[in-house]
Amino acid sequence: MSDPIAAVSTSYHQPTIKEIERQGICEALTDIQYLAGILQWLALAKDAVDCASDACTALAAALPGNVAYPNTTPYIQANNFWSDRQAEVHPRCFVTPRSTEEVSTVVKILTTRNAPFTVKSGGHTAFAGGSNIADGVTIDLVYLNDITVSSDRQTVSVGPGNRWVNVSETLDPLKLAVVGGRVADVGVSGLILGGGISYFSGLKGWACDSVRNFEVVISSGDIVNASPTINPDLYWALRGGGGSNFGIVTRFDLASFEQGDLWTNSLIFPGALNSTLIPLFQDLTVNGLPNDPAAHTYFVLTYQPSLGGYIALTSFYHATIPSPPDNSPPVFAQFQSIPSAISNSTLAANISTQSRIIDIPYGSRQTWWDTTVSATSASLLTDIVPLFEARNAALFSAAKGSSITPFLVFQPIPVNVLSAMQKNGGNALGLEPSDGPLIIVQLTTTWEDVRLDRLVEDSSQQLIAKIESMAKKRGLDNGFVYMNYAGSTQQVQKRYGKDNHRRLKRISRKWDPRGKLAQLWRGYFKL
């Protein structure tokens, strides 16, 4: 790697005394101070790179065979991410610990050497650097992939290196399930630590609410457990507060329950029917879902030229199979009577099969953003659509024919889910039953051309701001930002409310008293 300080020094013209006199002392001094700041920052950056290189050497000595360097096959295999933007980030090395004790060794080496790092579980973050790091160390938990079912079938212990399809493939034959992810390839750790929407959220809350115990390596390298009775403050914080502020979770002990096949129905309509569909979906969120907690749903609006332009997709799930299976549970029946469906498909299958259907393939650039509004107004949701379409028109024009696909997704948080979140002392998200019902407004964009990156990000941020402004003017804003759908610059934990944000910071300081994780763990959402 070239020396950044040398590069700057060769391009910067050192002013003479006469030039300073002509420019004015104050202005020149400002320039010099600015340069000094740049040089100081570059020096720190160089120090960080040197620390990372030193740490890689130490890790290779401590964990032989588990450190991968650039231009090697293990490195190329490890630098595989769902979003191409993440794969374009290149760490000094990857380290792949094989046990909790080895994670402890890794943490001790990194913190004693002040080496910047990040952690990869499934690598399903959309933005660059979310679970990968430039010129630092990426800890890849891929080999912490044990899945163990307790003898009483009440608890499933899951390593963070698993994808959710690994979990369901283990549990499906046993007719068991956990509150986990809906997409096959998503990693276990990130989903849980950010909250975790599930097929079974109506019955059980989010994924973080069904964790019995976390095994955690904290900044000192010590291994601790966190449960409702053991280190309950850390347990609370890890339920939605994200791991990067508290420690590396090396095992999740999840509550399991009896579950057979899952029923699903997908309806695709022309986008022109939004004015009919959205009020029905809003009514389903407010009145239908609380009366049938086994039901789950979301609504997607996207642009598909092959289907004639904008389309609306309604996806319905039910934990109980109706009889006969091609019938719709009563909670969803009103959607079946809407004419002009482009597609209507029903499937009763195990969770693994269902999760593969909505898997999102690798090989594109991705961004996700979100906000949360009250679900009490169908007109608010309907009025978001033209804002979405106007933003997309600018993207399509700039893309000049290259592939770009925008999605607007409405994900309900009905009052029964909010109530289920309160068990075991509640989670860190700051949502109460009295806040509901709510709907997460999720904005997702997939594209190919790197030159569109800035436009896509800026337009996403601006659209979310417009939605929040419109909701606030109508008294329908909530402010919550769901971490797992958030854009890189969204201040997620601040949206959990002032009290919860302060509480998270106190807990972080307790478990990371020297501030090593705060300083060194880069990328994902920090306090």
Reported as a single tens digit per residue, the pLDDT across 411-459 is 999 999 999 999 999 999 999 999 999 999 999 999 999 999 999 999 9
Concatenate the DSSP letters of all residues of 376-441 into one string: S-HHHHHHHHHHHHHHHHHHHHHHTTS-EEEEEEEEEE-HHHHHHTTGGG--TT---GGG-SEEEE
Structure confidence at residue 241 as a pLDDT band (50, 70, 90): very high
pLDDT surpassing 80 at residue 11: no
How many domains is the chain partitioned into structurally?
2
Segment 167-192 mean pLDDT: 98
Q: Residue 212 domain-assigned?
A: no
pLDDT surpassing 60 at residue 10: no
Residue 405 neighbours by CB under 8 Å, 6+ apart? 302, 303, 304, 445, 446, 447
Could you tell me what percent of the chain has a pLDDT over 90? Answer: 87
Partners of 477 in the β-ladder: 373
Q: Residue 85 domain-assigned?
A: no
Q: Residue 504 domain-assigned?
A: no
Q: Return d(Cα 443, Cα 315) in angstroms, integer.
A: 17
Q: What SS3 class is residue 512?
A: coil
Q: Please give the distance of CA 311 from its chain centroid, rounded to a whole number.
A: 25
Q: How far apart are the first and last CA of the chain?
A: 32
* pLDDT computed for residue 361 by the predictor: 85
Closest CA to 134 of 76, 96, 72, 88: 88
Q: Residue 527 domain-assigned?
A: no
Partners of 312 in the β-ladder: 269, 301
pLDDT surpassing 60 at residue 20: no
* pLDDT computed for residue 268 by the predictor: 97
Could you tell me what percent of the chain has a pLDDT over 70? Answer: 91
Structure confidence at residue 360 as a pLDDT band (50, 70, 90): confident
Q: Return d(Cα 21, Cα 25) in angstroms, integer.
A: 6
| Helix 4-11 / helix 25-62 crossing angle, nearest 10 deg | 160
* pLDDT computed for residue 348 by the predictor: 98
The string of pLDDT tens digits covering residues 268-301 is 999 999 999 999 999 999 999 999 999 999 999 9
Q: Residue 232 domain-assigned?
A: no
The string of pLDDT tens digits covering residues 53-77 is 999 999 999 999 999 999 999 999 9
pLDDT surpassing 90 at residue 187: yes
Closest CA to 48 of 116, 146, 117, 119: 116
Q: Return d(Cα 176, Cα 178) in angstroms, integer.
A: 7
* pLDDT computed for residue 2 by the predictor: 35
| Helix 274-283 / helix 378-399 crossing angle, nearest 10 deg | 130
User: What is the rounded average pLDDT for all residues in the chain?
Assistant: 92
The string of pLDDT tens digits covering residues 451-494 is 999 999 999 999 999 999 999 999 999 999 999 999 999 999 99
Q: Residue 411 domain-assigned?
A: yes
Segment 93-111 mean pLDDT: 98
pLDDT surpassing 80 at residue 46: no
Concatenate the DSSP letters of all residues of 334-383 into one string: HHHT-S--SEEEEEEE-HHHHHHHTPPPSSBEEEEEEEEEESS-HHHHHH
* pLDDT computed for residue 523 by the predictor: 87
Structure confidence at residue 49 as a pLDDT band (50, 70, 90): confident
Structure confidence at residue 18 as a pLDDT band (50, 70, 90): very low
Residue that terminates a domain, selected from 19, 36, 56: 56
Q: Residue 118 domain-assigned?
A: no
pLDDT surpassing 50 at residue 30: no
Helices (H), 83-151: 84-87, 100-112
For residue 295, what are the domain limits? 262-491
Q: What SS3 class is residue 268?
A: strand
The enclosing domain of 385 has a CATH number of 3.40.462.20
* pLDDT computed for residue 47 by the predictor: 61
Structure confidence at residue 50 as a pLDDT band (50, 70, 90): confident
